[in-house]
Amino acid sequence: MNFLTEEQQLWKDTVERWVDQEIGREYIRKCDVERRFPFEAYEKAAQLGWHRLIIPEADGGDGADIFAYALMCEGLAKYGFDFSAAITGSTFTAMNLVLHGTPEQKKQYLEPFMRGEIRIPISISEPNAGSDAANTQTRAERVGDEYVVNGQKLWCSGAANKDAVILMLVRTEKTDDKRKGLSVFIIPNTTPGLDIRPLSTLARRSITTTEIFLDNVRIPAAQMLGKPGDGWKIIGGEHLQLERIAIAAGYVGNAQGAVTDALRYAHQRVQFGQPIFEFQVLRHMLADMQTQVDAARLLTYRAAEMASQGLPCRKEVAMAKLFASETLQTVSRNGMQIMGGHGMLPDGDMERYFREGMQATVGGGTSQIQRTMISQEMRLR
Ligand X SMILES: Cc1cc2nc3c(=O)[nH]c(=O)nc-3n(C[C@H](O)[C@H](O)[C@H](O)COP(=O)(O)OP(=O)(O)OC[C@H]3O[C@@H](n4cnc5c(N)ncnc54)[C@H](O)[C@@H]3O)c2cc1C
Name the residues that contact ligand X, by CB under 6 A.
121-125, 130-131, 155-157, 201, 203-204, 209, 359, 362-366, 368-369, 372
Three-state SS for 269?
A: coil
Identity of the residue, 126 or 349, whose beta carbon is nearer to ligand X in the bound complex: 126
Phi-psi region at 375: left, alpha or beta (left = phi > 0; alpha = psi -120 to 50): alpha
| Identity of the amino acid at 294 | D
How many Å apart are CA 34 and CA 303, to the nearest integer? Answer: 35
Identity of the residue, 13 or 34, whose beta carbon is nearer to ligand X in the bound complex: 34
Please answer whether residues 208 and 38 qualify as being in contact, where contact means their C-beta atoms are separated by less than 8 angstroms: no
Give the list of residues 6+ apart from residue 380 with CB closer than 8 angstroms, or none: none
Secondary structure string (H, E, C) spanning 160-209: CCCCEEEEEEEECCCCCCCCCCEEEEEEECCCCCEEEEECCCCCCCCCCE
Q: Taking the complex as a whole, how short is the minimal distance between the CB of residue 189 and ligand X, in angstroms? A: 13
How many Å apart are CA 89 and CA 158, to the nearest integer? Answer: 9
Identity of the residue, 108 or 157, whose beta carbon is nearer to ligand X in the bound complex: 157
Q: Taking the complex as a whole, how short is the minimal distance between the CB of residue 346 and ligand X, in angstroms? A: 18
Identity of the residue, 290 or 366, whose beta carbon is nearer to ligand X in the bound complex: 366
Q: Taking the complex as a whole, how short is the minimal distance between the CB of residue 202 and ligand X, in angstroms? A: 7
Q: Taking the complex as a whole, how short is the minimal distance between the CB of residue 86 and ligand X, in angstroms? A: 11
Q: Taking the complex as a whole, how short is the minimal distance between the CB of residue 197 and ligand X, in angstroms? A: 14
Q: Taking the complex as a whole, how short is the minimal distance between the CB of residue 210 and ligand X, in angstroms? A: 8
Identity of the residue, 268 or 368, whose beta carbon is nearer to ligand X in the bound complex: 368
Identity of the residue, 210 or 334, whose beta carbon is nearer to ligand X in the bound complex: 210
Please answer whether residues 85 and 250 qualify as being in contact, where contact means their C-beta atoms are separated by less than 8 angstroms: yes
Q: Taking the complex as a whole, how short is the minimal distance between the CB of residue 203 and ligand X, in angstroms? A: 6
Identity of the residue, 204 or 321, whose beta carbon is nearer to ligand X in the bound complex: 204
Please answer whether residues 148 and 154 qualify as being in contact, where contact means their C-beta atoms are separated by less than 8 angstroms: no
Which stretch of DSSP H or E encloses residue 270? strand 270-271
Which stretch of DSSP H or E encloses residue 214? strand 209-220
Q: Which of 260, 235, 227 is nearest to 338 (CA)?
A: 260
How many Å apart are CA 13 and CA 55, to the nearest integer? Answer: 22
Q: Taking the complex as a whole, how short is the minimal distance between the CB of residue 154 and ligand X, in angstroms? A: 7
Per-position b or e across 191-219, b if 16+ CB within 10 A of its CB: beebebeeeebebbbbbbbbbbebeebeb
Identity of the residue, 47 or 128, whose beta carbon is nearer to ligand X in the bound complex: 128
Q: Would you list the DSSP string of 22-47? A: II-HHHHHHHHHTT---HHHHHHHHH
Identity of the residue, 14 or 366, whose beta carbon is nearer to ligand X in the bound complex: 366
In the complex, residue closest to ligand X by CB: 130
Beta strand extents in the chain (DSSP E only): 122-123, 139-143, 146-157, 165-171, 182-188, 194-198, 209-220, 224-225, 270-271, 274-275
Q: Taking the complex as a whole, how short is the minimal distance between the CB of residue 70 and ligand X, in angstroms? A: 19
Q: Taking the complex as a whole, how short is the minimal distance between the CB of residue 108 and ligand X, in angstroms? A: 22
Identity of the residue, 47 or 131, whose beta carbon is nearer to ligand X in the bound complex: 131
Q: Would you list the DSSP string of 216-231? A: EEEEEGGGEESSTT-H
How many Å apart are CA 202 and CA 363, to the nearest integer? Answer: 12
